Amino acid sequence: MIRVQREDFDVGVELERLAAGNHRIGGVASFVGLVRDMGGGDRVSALTLEHYPGMTQKKLTEIETEAHRRWPLDAVLIIHRYGRLEPGDRIVLVATASPHREAALAACHFLIDWLKTDAPFWKSEETPAGERWVESRAEDEDAKQRWTNPP
C-alpha cells in the first residue's frame, strides 16, 4: 500500500496493522526516515518536501510491485510525507512483512534505496544562510545499483 500525505503517522499503529490477521507472517521489517538538524555542515531548522503528485504515486506503486516480484512478501507499506517538516519529524516509513526475516529485511532495504533515486520528491532546507535545495548524492545512486541484479 502506498500513501503520500502531509500528516504524520504512528509507526506502532502502522506496523501492527500491516501484519494484523495474517498469521503466515513471521517478520515485519521497517525503515523510518527522519529530518536531521544538520545538512552540508549547516544547522537545518526545517525542511520542505515538494513532489510531483501523479508521478509519485505511479513510481511508488512500480517500486512496490518490483519488491513483490523479487521477494515472497505478504504486505508492503510505504508512507511518504510532503510539506514543511522540522528536525526529528518523520519523513518516510517503509515496512515489509514476510513469512521469513531475510525477505522482509532485504525488501525493506531495496525499497528505501529505490525510493530515494526514483520517487519524484525534492527537499529544500532552511538554514541560517537562507533556504536552499538539497542536492542529490552519488551515494544514493550507488546504493540503488546494489540491487541491479535480482536475487
Residues that bind other proteins (CB under 8 A): 33, 49-52, 54-55, 58-59, 80, 91-92, 112, 115-124, 133-136, 140
Considering only CA atoms, which of 31, 10, 3 is closest in space to residue 96? Answer: 31
- Dihedral angle, C-alpha 29, 25, 13, 67, nearest 10 °: 50
Residue 2 or 19 having the CB closest to other proteins: 2
Least separation in angstroms between CB 46 and other proteins: 15
Residue 73 or 91 having the CB closest to other proteins: 91
Distance (Å) of CA 143 to CA 12, 14, 84, 113: 27, 26, 27, 6
| Bridge partners for 51 per DSSP | 121
Least separation in angstroms between CB 26 and other proteins: 27
Residue 14 or 113 having the CB closest to other proteins: 113
